[in-house]
Chain A
Amino acid sequence: MTIAPEEIKSCCAAAYSSEAARFLLGDSFHPGGAALTSHLIAALEVGTGATVVDVASGPGTSALQLTRETGADVIGVDLSPTSVAAGARAARDAGLSERVRFLQGDAEALPLPDASVDGALCECALCTFPNKEAAVRELARVLRPGARLALADVTADVTRLPPELTGLQAWIACIADARSLAELASLLGGAGLIVEQAERHDEALERLLERIDGRLRVARLLGASFVDGALARGRDLVAAAQAALARGDLGYGVVVARRP
C-alpha cells in the first residue's frame, strides 16, 4: 500500500462530508440503512441512563436513531469538523442536543476516558481506518466491563480484489483495506473483547451498490457538475465491486463483542 495513512484518514473524512457523498449515499451512509442500524442498536442492550459512543458518526443519523430507540445518551466522534457540525445541527433540529453530543476526534485516539461508556457503535468505518488494531484497542479501552461493541463493516478477501478496488477511491469506498468477517472477529478478540455474534449481511452492500449506481445515472441525467469527471470512474468502481460481491470476495458483516 503506497498511500500515506494520514492522507487516507483526512481524505475519507472529507469525502464523507461532501455534497456528492450525501447525494450518492443518502442520509444513511452505510449498507443496510436504518433497519440494520436498529439491529446493531438492539444488540447493545442499552437503555435510559446509559452512554454510548458512535465512532465515525458522520452527519449523526445513527446517533439520533440510537437515542430515539433506546433513550441512551450518545457521544458521536468524527474526524471531520464538517460532520461534527452537521451532527450537532441535526441534534439541535431534533430537539436532542441534551442527549446527543458530537466531538471531533480520531478513532485511533478517542477523546474519552477509560471505561466511560456503556456501549459502542461503529458502522462501516473500521475498514477506512489505517491502523485497525489501534482503533479496536481504543474501542475496547473506553467500554465499561460488560458493555458491548456493535460493529458493521465491509468484509473482503483483499488478496482476491482486482486492482481498481485497491486504490484511493476504493479506500474511500471502504473496500481496499477491508477484512474478512473472521479477521474482524479475531481483531476484536485480540483487543480482549469476547465475540458474541458474527453475521453476514452481503445483501445490504448489494443494495447500496445498486443505489450508488442508480444515483450516478440520475446525476448524469441531470448534468450535475460535481460528478462530471468522477462519474464514469464511479460507475466502473461500482461495477467492479458488484462483480467481487458476486464472486464472494466482497461482502458486509456485523460483529457484536463484549468487554469482559
Chain B
Amino acid sequence: MALHQADRRKVDRDEVFLEYTKSICPVCKRVLDAEVNVRDNRVILRKRCPQHGPFEALIYSDAELYMAQQRYNKPGTLPLEFQSEVSDGCPLDCGMCPEHKQHACLAIVEVNSGCNLDCPICFADSGHQPDGFSLSFEQVEFMLDRFVAAEGEPEVVQFSGGEPTIHPQILEFIALAQAKGIRMVMLNTNGIRIARDRRFARELAALKPHLYLQFDGFELETHLRIRGKDLRADKQRALDACAENGLTVTLVAAIEKGVNEQEVGAIVRFALAHEAVRAVAFQPVTHSGRHVEFDPLERLTNADVMKLVAAQVPEWYRLDDFVPVPCCFPSCRSMSYAFVDGDGVVPFTRLLEIDDYLDYLSNRVLPDPEVRQALERMFSSSATPGAERALLACESCGIDLPGRLDELEDKVFMIVVQDFQDAYTLNVRQLMKCCVVELVPDGRLIPFCAYNSVGYREQVRAELSGVEVAPVVPNALPLQPLLQPTPYGSKTANGTGIVAPVNASNVGRGLE
C-alpha cells in the first residue's frame, strides 16, 4: 500500500487560473459563473450551464500581451445620468445601470433592420426581410436626446442598421445629430448607395458625416464568403465618390479565420494610398447574429489581427505600435496612429514613450498630465481621424511639433483593432466597462456587447417589428446538433441537448 502511494505522483494543472467572473450560456443565455484561465499562452474563458454543460472560448490568443495590457486601465467616468436601476445584476439590468464602470464614448443608432444585401456574416441579422423596423424621426430624436442627457456633450454617434443609407430620412437624422451638438456623426454603410446614387453622395457631402465603410478585402472569394456578392466595383466607386465629394472614410474590415486573414496588409496599403481614407478598423468577426460556422477555441482575437498587420506590413508596423485603449477594457481595443510621409509611415509609438503616460498602475510620477489627457482622447473608443490634434496642439506635447497643424489633415493614419464579445466569449468583467452603446427607442443605452449576446437585440427587434424574434445562438462547431435556423439566417436552439441538470452555482445561498 505504502509503495503504491509513493508511485502516485501529484501533477500540475495544465493552466493558470487568472480571473473569476460571470458569463452566459450561449444556448439558453442564463447567467453563469465563469473562469478565465491561461493555457499554452492563450486566454480561455470557461463556464458550465446546469442544462447545457461546459463551454470554452478563446478570448485572447496571447496571454503575455493580455497581462501586459492590464496596466492601461483608466478609471471610468460617471455619466450625467443612468437609464436603469440595479435589480438583477450584470448583464441583466442594461442599461446603463449605476454599477456600470464607464460612460458612453460612442453610441450606435440602428435606424432600420432592412438592408440591400443579405450577407452570410451580419451581427444585426439584417437583409431583405418581410418583417422588421424602420425608425421614425421622433424616435431618433428621443434616442439622441437621451444620449445628450447622459453625456452632456456626446463624442460620437454612428448611424447604422440594417443599411442606414436606404432609410428615407437618413440625411435628416445626420443633420439632427449634428444640430444636437454631437461632435462626430458617422454613417456606417456598405457603400452601395453612395456608389450608385450621385445625388445622394452630393447631399451627404453637404453634411460631411465621417463614413464607416464596410471593406473586407480585394479577393472575389472574400466578397462571396462574407457579403455573398462581388462588391469590388461598388466599393471602388463609393470611395472615389467620397474623394470627389470631400468625404473622409474609415475602412471597416470584418476579419474571419480562413477567409480574409491574408488580406489585412493589402487593406492597410490600399487605405494609405487612397485620398479619402483616413483609417482602417479591423474587427475579428463577431459571432452574433448571422455568421459562418466557427470553432470558439480557434477564433481570431485582437492579438492575431495585430500580428497579421505586423507580419504583412513589416516595413511599417510592429506589434508594439499598437496601444491598448484605456477607456474600455484594454484587451477589447488597440489602436495605432502614424504619420504618413513619402517613405511610408512613422508610428507615434516611435516618436514618444506612450507607456510613460498611459500606465495607470505604475507609481511613477506622470511626466505631464496634459499629455496624458491628450493621449486619452487619441486612444479612446470615441477617437476618430483627427483625434491626434489633441496631442499635437498640446502646449507641452511629447512631440513638440514644429510647423503648422492644419497642414497635417491628411498626413495622419489610424488603425483600430476591436474585438466585440458574443454569447460564447462574454466576460462580464469586460462588459461592465464597455463604452460603446446601442441607443434604443425606449431610451436605454445598452452596452454593445450585451446588446448582441444577452438577448436585448432580439427583444428590441420584437418590440419594434411586432414579430416574435427567436433568441440567437452562436453558430459554433460544438453546438451544431442543438441548432436550427431562424427566418433571418441566424441560428436558434432546437430544444434538444439538455444534459442532466447540475447546479454548480451557490450565489444567494449560505452554509446549510
Asked if residues B398 and A226 are in contact (CB atoms below 8 Å), the reply is no
User: Quick one: CB contact mask for A213-228 with B, threshold 8 Å, 1 for yes?
Assistant: 0110111111111110
B: number of interface residues (CB 8 Å): 24
Asked if residues B398 and A27 are in contact (CB atoms below 8 Å), the reply is yes
Q: What is the distance, in angstroms, from B298's C-beta to the closest C-beta of chain A?
A: 34
Cβ of A180 within 8 Å of any chain B Cβ, yes or no, is no
When chains A and B are docked, how far (Å) is the Cα of A58 from the Cα of B402? 21
CB nearest to A221 among chain B residues: B341
Cβ of B352 within 8 Å of any chain A Cβ, yes or no, is yes
Q: In chain A, residues 210-260, which have Cβ atoms closer than 8 Å to a Cβ of chain B?
A: 210-211, 214-215, 217-227
Cβ of B353 within 8 Å of any chain A Cβ, yes or no, is yes
Partner of A69, one of B341, B365, B400: B365
Cβ of A160 within 8 Å of any chain B Cβ, yes or no, is no
Q: Which one of B81-89, B131-139, B167-175, B343-351 is at the A interface?
A: B343-351
Cβ of B407 within 8 Å of any chain A Cβ, yes or no, is yes
Cβ of A82 within 8 Å of any chain B Cβ, yes or no, is no
Residues of B within 8 A of A22 (CB): 400
Cβ of B404 within 8 Å of any chain A Cβ, yes or no, is yes
Residues of B within 8 A of A69 (CB): 364-365
When chains A and B are docked, how far (Å) is the Cα of A191 from the Cα of B351? 38
Cβ of B18 within 8 Å of any chain A Cβ, yes or no, is no
Q: In chain B, residues 341-389, which have Cβ atoms closer than 8 Å to a Cβ of chain A?
A: 341, 343, 346-347, 350-353, 356, 364-365, 367-368
Residues of A within 8 A of B339 (CB): 214, 217-218, 221
Residues of B within 8 A of A116 (CB): none
Partner of A218, one of B353, B356, B364, B401: B401
Q: What is the distance, in angstroms, from B338's C-beta to the closest C-beta of chain A?
A: 10
Partner of A68, one of B343, B356, B365, B407: B365
Asked if residues A217 and B341 are in contact (CB atoms below 8 Å), the reply is yes
Binding site for B on A (CB under 8 A): 19, 22-23, 26-28, 33-35, 38, 61, 65, 68-69, 210-211, 214-215, 217-227
Binding site for A on B (CB under 8 A): 339, 341, 343, 346-347, 350-353, 356, 364-365, 367-368, 398-404, 407-408, 411
| 4 extra interface residue pairs, beta carbon distance < 8 Å, beyond A26-B351, A221-B411 | A26-B400, A28-B353, A34-B353, A226-B402
A to B CB contacts below 8 Å, 25 in the list: A19-B402, A23-B400, A23-B401, A26-B351, A26-B353, A26-B398, A27-B398, A34-B353, A34-B356, A34-B367, A65-B365, A211-B352, A214-B339, A214-B347, A215-B351, A217-B341, A219-B403, A220-B341, A221-B339, A222-B401, A222-B402, A222-B403, A224-B402, A225-B402, A226-B402
